[in-house]
Chains A and B, each alone.
Chain A
């Protein structure tokens, strides 16, 4: 034991002080000086840290007691310092979420569930109250359920880029099909197309839990790791920073191709547009193209193929057909 015989004397004192900090965080204005003093205290001893973690975890569980409130006040009625506390990473007090059946990946919709969807070719940036940000790519549907000690996002379809404000007591979990990703202070990309899933980690750590029955669960994904999961297999590939940046280029409204086959490029751009690019010739589909293309400009890719490879393009209204 550290500190020899005296170590056991400190426990309740640590708890007293920890509760004092917790109370100030929640019920007074929390200045930068307060924060610095608090962090200094926290880092003095692991005893301080565990005392605080324990009290904070219990206190954040009580957040859902707000469900017992008879009248739900408007946001504007909440005192300023309280609102600051909420913006500061707490769940808004009126969100009472009862999360059931999580293990099975089933979420009951409650007052805290919200659904976001984008149309074909559209993008949307969601700023969440906990400071996290989700960028939705084209044709995407996701649901958020933020509870007192869980933040759950269910990606129904499409692609989303998560920049998560980490909170150890409220893990941020993305569920896609039967796979789960839990953030550990992270930026990561999740793309779901039917049974296929791709998870690319840009920063931080993501815990990846594959569907039951897939024994090769990769566990921790690190920056550059990309997990590609189908219904019955998982593959981890390493991606360079450039490759990751290219995969995220949709956030700027463009697709970046680099030694990409024409067939793959067509698949990519077709996710964004009603007008589809059809490669009618398998050999033509294997030709490699490169460059940066606006996501909503099918014609630009077709014309690049025509100019570079002398392929024929035929505009048929709702599709452009490329052939030799």
Chain B
């Protein structure tokens, strides 16, 4: 920790300082309780939905519904709630669009998505985090990885990264934004055992 006086320039934290505590709590809850469920949620959606191209959008819609509910009241525990929302979403879509899912709705109940199993051991997660992050980094496309390494590990500015890579700043931005999205997918969407593979 560096003892630095507060600057009031709060680049990384978009939250308004006077933001409503319920909002802050919903955000913290979402990051802490919901995002770690993503790999299981995505698995569930893949199993239940015909078109794999819809999965990211379905996942996002589940998140929106979960988050909107949490803004009113935080559901405990998170997991059964998230999966109930996911099921309801699929049912809504089927009704509205007359889409037939891969499995009939009744099958969803028997899907191997246990809602009461203990979550992954957080201690193990913490211990494993650096290795997992490294593995995620290794799976980025080469130029994208290079930009992320320069930005995140060498903590260079965008201009400096552009100079080192011999490309324009706009290209650096492209690499970095792509890297950010890919890292989120690797870290949240994929099952934990996949993430560890180099």
In the complex, whether B7 has a CB less than 8 A from a CB of chain A is: yes
Interface residues of A in 81-116 (CB under 8 A from B): 81-82, 84-85, 87-90, 92-93, 95-96, 98-104, 112, 114
In the complex, whether B167 has a CB less than 8 A from a CB of chain A is: no
Q: Once bound together, how far apart are the Cα atoms of A133 and B60, in whole Å?
A: 36
In the complex, whether B64 has a CB less than 8 A from a CB of chain A is: yes
Q: Given A53-B31, A64-B129, A129-B3, is A58 in contact with B188 using a C-beta cutoff of 8 Å?
A: yes
Q: Are B152 and A89 in contact (CB under 8 A)?
A: no
Contacts from B to A (Cβ < 8 Å): 1-7, 9-17, 19, 21, 24-25, 27-28, 30-32, 35, 54, 56-61, 63-65, 67-68, 71, 89, 92-93, 96-97, 122-123, 126-127, 129-130, 133-134, 136-137, 148, 151-158, 160-161, 172-173, 176-178, 180-181, 183-184, 187-188
Contacts from A to B (Cβ < 8 Å): 1-2, 4-5, 7-12, 14-16, 19-23, 25-28, 30, 35, 38-39, 42, 46-47, 49-55, 57-69, 73, 75, 78-79, 81-82, 84-85, 87-90, 92-93, 95-96, 98-104, 112, 114, 126-129, 131, 133, 144, 146, 149, 165-169, 171, 184-185, 204-205
For B3, list chain A residues within 8 Å (CB). Answer: 126-129
Q: Are B1 and A112 in contact (CB under 8 A)?
A: yes
Greatest chain B CB density within 10 A among A39, A60, A89, A144 is at A89
Secondary structure of the B contact surface, majority rule: helix
- CB closest chain-B residue, reference A205: B21
Q: List 23 A-B contacts (CB under 8 A).
A: A7-B61, A19-B180, A20-B173, A20-B177, A27-B151, A39-B14, A54-B184, A60-B12, A61-B129, A61-B187, A65-B137, A68-B134, A79-B155, A79-B156, A87-B11, A88-B13, A89-B12, A98-B130, A100-B127, A127-B3, A127-B4, A131-B6, A131-B7
Q: Once bound together, how far apart are the Cα atoms of A96 and B1, in whole Å?
A: 10
Q: Are A8 and B126 in contact (CB under 8 A)?
A: no
> What's the least CB distance linking B43 to chain A, in Å?
17
Q: Given A11-B61, A30-B11, A62-B133, is A102 in contact with B35 using a C-beta cutoff of 8 Å?
A: no
Q: Are A127 and B6 in contact (CB under 8 A)?
A: yes
Choose among B9, B67, B126, B178 the residue that contacts A100 (Cβ–Cβ < 8 A).
Answer: B126
For B7, list chain A residues within 8 Å (CB). Answer: 84, 87-88, 131
Q: Are A39 and B89 in contact (CB under 8 A)?
A: no
> What's the least CB distance linking B93 to chain A, in Å?
8
Q: Once bound together, how far apart are the Cα atoms of A205 and B58, in whole Å?
A: 33
Choose among A50, A69, A184 the residue that contacts B60 (Cβ–Cβ < 8 A).
Answer: A50
Q: Once bound together, how far apart are the Cα atoms of A8 and B60, in whole Å?
A: 8
Q: Given A1-B89, A47-B64, A87-B4, is A101 in contact with B153 using a C-beta cutoff of 8 Å?
A: no
Q: Once bound together, how far apart are the Cα atoms of A26 and B151, in whole Å?
A: 9
Q: Are B155 and A23 in contact (CB under 8 A)?
A: no
For B153, list chain A residues within 8 Å (CB). Answer: 65-66, 68-69
Q: Given A7-B61, A52-B14, A168-B24, is A30 in contact with B9 using a C-beta cutoff of 8 Å?
A: yes
Q: Are A84 and B11 in contact (CB under 8 A)?
A: yes
Q: Are B123 and A102 in contact (CB under 8 A)?
A: yes
Q: Once bound together, how far apart are the Cα atoms of A178 and B27, in whole Å?
A: 26
> What's the least CB distance linking B98 to chain A, in Å?
12
Q: Are B21 and A62 in contact (CB under 8 A)?
A: no
Q: Once bound together, how far apart are the Cα atoms of A69 and B130, in whole Å?
A: 12
Greatest chain B CB density within 10 A among A59, A81, A84, A112 is at A59
Q: Once bound together, how far apart are the Cα atoms of A277 and B44, in whole Å?
A: 67
Q: Once bound together, how far apart are the Cα atoms of A103 and B122, in whole Å?
A: 8
Choose among A12, A54, A89 the residue that contacts B13 (Cβ–Cβ < 8 A).
Answer: A89
